[in-house]
């Protein structure tokens, strides 16, 4: 196949576009460091262009978009069950959590309420996906900073959570289990007892992390005081989730603005905040959140009401006209869906507000004047998933 002229022009244009970014930096003092899309320290294909003065960063810009899959355009030509399948893959580590706000928005438009049993099991699976996601953060943070051991422990203990998700839904990473009006299927026998055991395992991982990583002097030196984000900067940049709670803002969507359809009021739990706002605070808050999640799951497992798993919904889902915004406290932060429907089989417009997109918008502000290894620490502690940024 010969290369056509337009393909040649496109290639040259791509090179020029890349060079434009580098050329801008080269004319000023300092060196440009391009941590390109393929880099083990970025959680996926994120490109970080940093202008350096010696070892210090003068200006740092994250360039997302290398993983843009056109989700919002795709959602306009897919039926609601097909959209549920697709949106599993936005934040692929806590993928049940991606389905929930979309299903809740569709349920809001259809005026359907899931039965209590489905709501509690939905909340349990939501928390399990949070455990799967944040436990990988705990392991990955160690790997980014050079302490690879905790990565192995995290993956080993995460398997128990993933096995439980697989036992209930059939898929370890992409459950595709939430349906408008309830859940696809009920829990298999023995699931509750086995999940209690998995929660014990997760608490053991938290204790090991605390001893192995948090107490380590090198870790403390690399994370205390690094990447401090004050509370007002965090709110003005739209940050959410553990990043916001680590700056001292006491805000958790599960407690403060929980959409109807989830059962967090059945459990007795608390929200963890830390006043410092540095990388250590973000790690500490996430660790406590994992522990709190295990307690929430334990409490909810013991209070699953009997009943049907699915409300009466028509076979072919046609959502009535309207628009709805629903946001939930996903593992990465606040994830929201703005669903506009025209009464068809397919949604008219789905806007996916992903937490990581706003969480990394603070990177140019927070990386002024830090050293190059600190850039890695800050990116690791802010914790984003590329699928969440680019969609």
Q: Please give the Cα distance from 384 to 382 (Å, whole number).
A: 6
Q: Which of residues 94-113 bind other proteins (CB under 8 A)?
A: 108-109
Between residues 196 and 372, which has the closer beta carbon with respect to other proteins? 196
Q: Please give the Cα distance from 151 to 140 (Å, whole number).
A: 6
Name the segment binding other proteins (CB under 8 A); options: 133-141, 213-221, 261-269, 281-289.
Answer: 213-221
Q: Tell me if 137 contacts other proteins by CB under 8 A.
A: no
Least distance between other proteins and beta carbon 164 (Å): 9
Q: Which of 217, 268, 275, 312 binds other proteins (CB under 8 A)?
A: 217
Instruction: Indicate the DSSP class of residue 376.
Output: H
Strands 56-63 and 178-179: unpaired
Name the segment binding other proteins (CB under 8 A); options: 268-276, 291-299, 342-350, 367-375.
Answer: 342-350
Q: Tell me if 68 contacts other proteins by CB under 8 A.
A: yes
Size, binding site for other proteins by CB under 8 A: 100
Say if residues 379 and 54 touch (Cβ distance below 8 Å): no
Least distance between other proteins and beta carbon 19 (Å): 11
Q: Which residues contact 216 (CB under 8 A, 6 or more apart)?
A: 147
Least distance between other proteins and beta carbon 135 (Å): 14
Between residues 57 and 154, which has the closer beta carbon with respect to other proteins? 154
Least distance between other proteins and beta carbon 176 (Å): 5
Q: Tell me if 122 contacts other proteins by CB under 8 A.
A: no
Say if residues 119 and 262 touch (Cβ distance below 8 Å): yes
Name the segment binding other proteins (CB under 8 A); options: 33-41, 92-100, 204-212, 368-376.
Answer: 204-212
Residue position matching structure tokens 């929930």 = 100
Q: Which of 32, 113, 143, 186 binds other proteins (CB under 8 A)?
A: 186
Between residues 126 and 153, which has the closer beta carbon with respect to other proteins? 153
Between residues 331 and 336, which has the closer beta carbon with respect to other proteins? 336
Q: Please give the Cα distance from 324 to 302 (Å, whole number).
A: 33
Q: Which of residues 260-319 bind other proteins (CB under 8 A)?
A: 304-309
Say if residues 180 and 107 touch (Cβ distance below 8 Å): yes
Between residues 14 and 31, which has the closer beta carbon with respect to other proteins? 14
Between residues 140 and 334, which has the closer beta carbon with respect to other proteins? 334
Least distance between other proteins and beta carbon 55 (Å): 25
Q: Tell me if 169 contacts other proteins by CB under 8 A.
A: yes
Q: Please give the Cα distance from 53 to 32 (Å, whole number).
A: 9
Q: Tell me if 221 contacts other proteins by CB under 8 A.
A: no
Q: Which of 165, 158, 166 is nearest to 135 (CA)?
A: 158
Q: Which of 113, 184, 105 is nearest to 352 (CA)?
A: 105
Q: Tell me if 185 contacts other proteins by CB under 8 A.
A: yes
Q: Please give the Cα distance from 157 to 149 (Å, whole number).
A: 13
Q: Please give the Cα distance from 287 to 302 (Å, whole number).
A: 24
Q: Please give the Cα distance from 45 to 36 (Å, whole number).
A: 8
Q: Which residues pair with 357 in a beta bridge?
A: none
Q: Tell me if 171 contacts other proteins by CB under 8 A.
A: yes
Q: Tell me if 237 contacts other proteins by CB under 8 A.
A: yes
Q: Which of 182, 119, 185 is nearest to 311 (CA)?
A: 182
Residue 353 has φ and ψ, to the nearest 5°, of -90, 105
Q: Which of 47, 78, 222, 254 binds other proteins (CB under 8 A)?
A: 78
Q: Which residues contact 212 (CB under 8 A, 6 or more apart)?
A: 142, 147, 149, 150, 153
Between residues 97 and 301, which has the closer beta carbon with respect to other proteins? 301
Least distance between other proteins and beta carbon 269 (Å): 18
Q: Which of 113, 166, 276, 292 binds other proteins (CB under 8 A)?
A: 166
Say if residues 332 and 241 touch (Cβ distance below 8 Å): yes
Q: Please give the Cα distance from 63 to 48 (Å, whole number).
A: 6
Between residues 156 and 368, which has the closer beta carbon with respect to other proteins? 156
Q: Tell me if 19 contacts other proteins by CB under 8 A.
A: no
Q: Tell me if 56 contacts other proteins by CB under 8 A.
A: no
């Amino acid at each position: 196949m010969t290369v056509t002229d337009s393909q040649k022009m496109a290639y040259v244009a791509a090179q020029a576009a890349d060079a434009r970014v580098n050329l801008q930096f080269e004319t000023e003092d300092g060196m440009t460091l391009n941590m390109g899309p393929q880099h083990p320290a970025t959680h996926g294909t994120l490109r970080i262009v940093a202008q350096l003065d010696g070892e210090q960063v003068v200006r740092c810009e994250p360039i997302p978009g290398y993983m843009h899959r056109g989700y919002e355009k795709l959602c306009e030509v897919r039926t609601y069950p097909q959209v549920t399948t697709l949106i599993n893959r936005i934040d692929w580590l806590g993928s049940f959590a991606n389905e929930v706000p979309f299903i809740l928005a569709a349920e809001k438009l259809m005026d359907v309420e899931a039965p209590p049993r489905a709501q509690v099991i939905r909340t349990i699976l939501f928390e399990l996906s949070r455990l799967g996601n944040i436990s990988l953060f705990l392991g990955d943070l160690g790997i980014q900073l050079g302490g690879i051991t905790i990565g192995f422990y995290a993956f080993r203990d995460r398997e128990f959570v993933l096995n439980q998700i697989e036992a209930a839904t059939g898929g370890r990473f992409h459950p595709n289990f939430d349906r408008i009006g309830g859940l696809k299927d009920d829990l298999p026998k023995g699931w509750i007892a086995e999940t209690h055991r998995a929660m014990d395992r997760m608490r053991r991982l938290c204790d090991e992390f605390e001893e192995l990583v948090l107490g380590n002097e090198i870790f403390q030196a690399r994370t205390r005081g690094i990447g401090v984000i004050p509370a007002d900067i965090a709110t003005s940049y739209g940050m959410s989730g553990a990043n916001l709670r680590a700056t001292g803002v006491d805000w958790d969507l599960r407690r403060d603005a929980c959409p109807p359809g989830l059962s967090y009021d059945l459990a007795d739990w608390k929200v963890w905040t830390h006043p410092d706002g540095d990388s250590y605070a973000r790690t500490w808050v996430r660790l406590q959140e994992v522990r709190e999640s295990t307690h929430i799951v334990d409490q909810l497992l013991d209070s699953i009401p009997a009943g049907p798993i699915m409300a009466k919904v028509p076979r072919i889902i046609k959502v009535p006209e309207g628009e709805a915004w629903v946001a939930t406290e996903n593992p990465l932060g606040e994830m929201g869906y703005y669903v506009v429907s025209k009464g068809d089989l397919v949604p008219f417009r789905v806007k996916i507000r992903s937490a990581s997109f706003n969480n990394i918008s603070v990177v140019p502000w927070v990386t002024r004047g830090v050293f190059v290894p600190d850039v890695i620490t800050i990116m690791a502690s802010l914790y984003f998933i590329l699928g969440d940024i680019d969609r």
